[in-house]
């Protein structure tokens, strides 16, 4: 799989998506820490895991899948974000993980800012790993469409971000 060419293997996940109403963009800044290493190896979808100790009160954000922008070394990348307990893996701790929609070299230890622009869906459990992967590919496709809309596109310019 490649972030550039997401495929959902013909599966339709549209029933999972929720129309966000009156969502205000939220900025989270923290450094990138190591997780379980599953994103790249098991899913083929690396996720930059945030150091939750640096996240502050934003760690209370509702669990779910979001889309937005990540500022990594002053470059903005389209991003999908997973917040929660990863029910498929039954994590014991809440995580915030960002998949940037571009292939990149590792950036562990970097301080990144994620601007969350909208909510896509609740976290789900799946019968099999392939369904989790296919649903994430669907999230990427939906996120790309949402990020073309006026307000998220406005945030491609960092000077418009809230402090």
Among 13, 69, 77, 88, binds ligand RBF (CB under 6 A): 88
Three-state DSSP at 14 gives helix
8-14 long-range Cβ contacts below 8 angstroms, 24+ apart: 8/134, 8/135, 8/137, 8/138, 8/141, 9/130, 9/134, 11/131, 11/134, 11/135, 11/138, 13/134, 13/135, 13/138, 13/139, 14/138
**Quick one: 1 exposed, middle or buried, by C-beta within 10 A (0-12, 13-18, 19+)?**
middle
- How many residues make up the chain in this entry? 163
Count of residues that interact with ligand RBF, criterion CB under 6 A:
21
Is 140 a binding residue for ligand ADP by CB under 6 A? The answer is no
Region 59-78 residues binding ligand RBF, contact defined as CB under 6 A? 65
Is 108 a binding residue for ligand ADP by CB under 6 A? The answer is yes
Q: How far is the CB of 109 from ligand ADP (least distance, A)?
A: 9
Q: How far is the CB of 51 from Mg ion (least distance, A)?
A: 12
CB closest to ligand ADP, residue no: 39
Region 43-102 residues binding ligand ADP, contact defined as CB under 6 A? 46-49, 99-100, 102
Among 28, 49, 55, 115, binds Mg ion (CB under 5 A): 49
Active site residue 149: no
Contacting residues toward ligand ADP, per CB under 6 A:
3, 32, 34-40, 46-49, 99-100, 102, 104, 106-108
Active site residues: 97
């Amino acid at each position: 799989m490649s972030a550039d060419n997401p495929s959902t293997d013909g599966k339709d996940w549209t029933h999972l998506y929720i129309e966000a109403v009156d969502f205000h963009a939220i900025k989270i800044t923290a450094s990138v820490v190591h997780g379980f290493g599953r994103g790249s190896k098991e899913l083929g979808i690396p996720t930059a895991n945030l150091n939750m100790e640096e996240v502050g009160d934003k760690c209370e954000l509702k669990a779910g899948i979001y889309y937005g922008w990540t500022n990594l070394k002053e470059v903005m990348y389209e991003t999908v974000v997973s917040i929660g307990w990863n029910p498929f893996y039954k994590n014991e701790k809440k995580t915030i993980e960002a998949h940037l929609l571009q292939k990149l070299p590792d950036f562990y230890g970097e301080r990144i800012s994620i601007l969350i622009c909208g909510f896509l869906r609740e976290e789900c459990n799946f019968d099999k790993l392939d369904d989790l992967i296919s649903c994430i590919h669907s999230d990427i496709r939906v996120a790309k469409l949402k990020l073309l809309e006026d307000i998220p596109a406005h945030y491609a310019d960092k000077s418009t971000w809230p402090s």
